[in-house]
Each structure stands twice: as structure tokens, then as C-alpha cells.
Amino acid sequence: MKTSILTAVLLAAGIAGAAAQTASPQRPPSRATQNCSAVTAETCKVAHALGRGVNLGNMLDAPREGDWGVKLEPAFIDRAASSFATVRLPVRWSNHAAPTADATLDEAFAKRVDQAIDALLAKNVYVILNMHHYTQIHGDTQHPNEFAVEPAVLETRLVNMWRQIAMRYKDRSPRLLFELLNEPHGRLNGEPWNELSAKTLAVVRESNPNRIVLIGPGEWNAIPELPKLRMPKDRNLITSIHNYDPFPFTHQGADWLAKPFPTGVKCCDAGQRKVIADVLESARRWNQSSGYPVYLGEFGTFEKVDMASRESYARTVRDEAERRGIGWAYWELASPSFGMYSPQTGWHEPIRRALLD
């Protein structure tokens, strides 16, 4: 598509402010737009400009960096930022903060996060910084090398960690977005998360009155849970959704599940494509009724899935999301389990092609 035509498409979509960067395949043109009646024009523009993204997963969200087979290397930042418009940065703040209610952040770890954020922002991408794998707040068992805290301080710690994080980054570029909690579930499902997210957002707004914040529904950011999500009355919000349907396909062979799914399942036949399309269509319908834009923050396939099926799945989800004007971030870049890039051999080309070509 020629630049002049591409610019016209963006103007029609109301995101002309991003036109200078749109020639890249990272920011695919889309005639589909989301309903943004509940948010500001700037938040709407950003929601559409997030485009194609990737997660730097299993790095800073491991209990200790390196525990899960990969560390956040400069080369990963370069790969992510050169290929995608948005980089989601999962961070396990809870294991690097005091176990007490004040949750004072470990400064050495926080500086490590600073470096990652600043390196990404310097490359002019959007960065979604989140609170990832705070396992105990959901009622989950701690991972190896993760410490437990007194149950009475779990929610206060979340609020106080965000008070510090928000203050720390209040002067960073507006391209830095906050995501309050990855995949709320378990004891936070439903109204408990609605109440806690409002409290947490309030402390962020003390230092960041206009920064865009992502909040997702319960049951692991599941799209069917959107009707139970009560978004705070705030005009700088985007709703975060995740989708790994069909789950027995995407997670086949995952040995951490209580009953691992059998391997050898292919994708994507007509029934599987319908499952993917239907769930994203329900997210579109929720957007149309609520006025809050949605962002697909995670989808992907486990390494036990055959590569041809991983390619087909990635292409199908990408196409169905973009057809509805929904930006997305693939899970994930470079870890051995779900990654699309290997430090030893480079891109898993079928997945890269499916997402970016």
C-alpha cells in the first residue's frame, strides 16, 4: 500500500497522529475501529496505534531473573522494538519488594526495570509495564524461589507497590502505559477485583493523572468475564484481554497443568477458527456497548505444538483481531516454552511470518 493511501486510511480511523510511523508493517492499517466513547481522544488514538506487539516474557517476571531459562538481554530489546510497535514488559514486582504492608521496592531490581523501560522508550515503541505473577494475591501457591507474605497485607502491598512505581515513572514518556495486574483470578474474581482495581488506580492517579492504564477482567483476563468487569470512571483506560482458545490446542503437552493435554493436535480447522473468531467477536461487542477499547495482551502456543500449526494459529488470531481493530501482543519473544525467537538460531520464521508479513 502506498504511503498516501495508508495515510488516508489512518485519517479515516481517527489516528492521523501516528501517520508518520505507519509505513512499517508493525502498524497495520485497519478500517475497523473500536468504540471509544468512554475514553479521551488521545487514549483512543493510542489504543489503535498499539498495533502489533510482543511480550518480553519469562524474564523479569521469573521469581529471579534467569530462573526460567532466559534473561533480558539488550539483543531481545532490539529484536522486539525493531519488529513490533508495542512491547509488553511483565515484571514480578512482588518478589522484589518488602514482605510488609509498605512493600518498599528493592532499588537494585527497580533500576534493572528502569534500564529496560528507558531502552525501549528510546526506540520509540509503546511499553506496557505490568504487575505479573503476584501469585499469592490470587490464592495460588508460590513458585520456587518466591517468598510468601502475611495474607492480611496482600492487597495493601499491591496498592503500595503501585504508589511507588507510579511515582518512579511519572515523568516518563506517555508511551509508557501501566497495567495494574496480570490475569486476576481465584480469590480476586468478580467484585473483589473491581474494588481493588479502583483503589489501585486511585494511587496511580495521585502522581499520573493522565497516563493510560490497562485493567482486565477476572478468570485470567478471560474475554467471557468482561460483563463482570466494572471499569472505574476514568477516561484514560484500556481494557486488557487474553485468549489462548482453543486451550487444549495451545497448551498441549504443558507439563505444569494438573492433567496435561495430549500432543499432536493440529490447527486450524473450521471449528477451531470459529472458536477464535467467536471469542474475539464477543470482545468487540463488549467494546461497542461499553465504550472502552480492548487490547489483546496475550495469545500464543506452547513449544510442543507442531510448527505448521503454530504458524496457522498465529495468523488466524492476528487476522481476526485486526479485522476488529484490536491491537495485540504475542506471548512471547524468546523463552524456550512459548517463544518465537531463539538466541541460538534466530526467528522461528513461520511464526514471525504469520505475525508480521
**If we measure between CA atoms, which residue out of 176, 163, 159 comes closest to residue 120?**
176
Site of grid cell 505473577:
133
| pLDDT-derived band at 28, boundaries 50, 70, 90 | low
pLDDT-based confidence at residue 7 (cuts at 50, 70, 90) = very low
- Backbone φ and ψ for 345, nearest 5 degrees, come out as -120, -5
Report which of 218, 208, 120 is spatially closest to residue 167, judged by C-alpha positions. 208
| Residue 334: predicted pLDDT | 97
Please compute, for residue 196, the number of CA atoms within 13 A of its CA located in the half-sphere on the CB side: 25
- The owner of cell 501517520 is 19
Quick: pLDDT tens for 158-192. 999 999 999 999 999 999 999 999 999 999 999 99
Cβ-based burial of 158 (10 A; exposed 0-12, middle 13-18, buried ≥19): buried
Task: State how far the Cα of 34 lies from the Cα of 74, in Å rounded to an integer.
Answer: 34
- Mean predicted confidence (pLDDT) in 340-346: 95
Helices and strands (H and E) in the chain: how many: 11, 10
DSSP line for 166-190? HHHTTTS-TTEEEES-SS--GGGTT
Between strands 176-179 and 126-130, the pairing is parallel
Give the mean pLDDT of 47-70.
98
| pLDDT score for 3 | 33
Confidence of residue 267 (pLDDT cuts 50, 70, 90): very high
Q: What percent of the chain has pLDDT over 70?
A: 91
Length of the chain: 357
pTM here is 0.92
Contact 11, 19 (CB under 8 A): yes
User: What is the per-residue pLDDT across 271-302, written as a single tens digit (0 to 9) for each?
Assistant: 999 999 999 999 999 999 999 999 999 999 99
Give the Cα-Cα-Cα angle 130, 199, 65 (nearest 5 degrees).
Answer: 25
Asked whether 311 and 352 are in contact (CB, 8 A), the reply is no
Q: Averaged over 345-352, what is the pLDDT? A: 97
Mean pLDDT, to the nearest integer, of 140-165? 98
> For residues 25 and 285, what is the distance between their CA atoms, to the nearest angstrom?
27
What is the Cα–Cα distance from 41 to 257, expressed in whole angstroms? 42
Q: What is the mean pLDDT of the chain?
A: 93
Cell of 165: 512505581
Confidence of residue 32 (pLDDT cuts 50, 70, 90): confident
Average pLDDT over residues 321-345: 97
Closest CA to 237 of 293, 286, 173: 293
Domains of the chain (ranges plus CATH)? 1-27 (no CATH), 32-356 (3.20.20.80)
Report pLDDT digits (tens) over 36-47.
999 999 999 999
- At 241, the amino acid letter reads I
pLDDT of residue 18 exceeding 70: no
Is residue 205 helix, strand or coil?
helix
E strands, the chain, are 52-55, 86-89, 126-130, 176-179, 213-215, 237-242, 294-298, 327-330, 341-342, 346-347
341-342 and 346-347 strand pairing: antiparallel
Whether 94 shows a pLDDT value over 50: the answer reads yes
Task: Write the pLDDT tens digit of every residue in 222-236.
Answer: 999 999 999 999 999
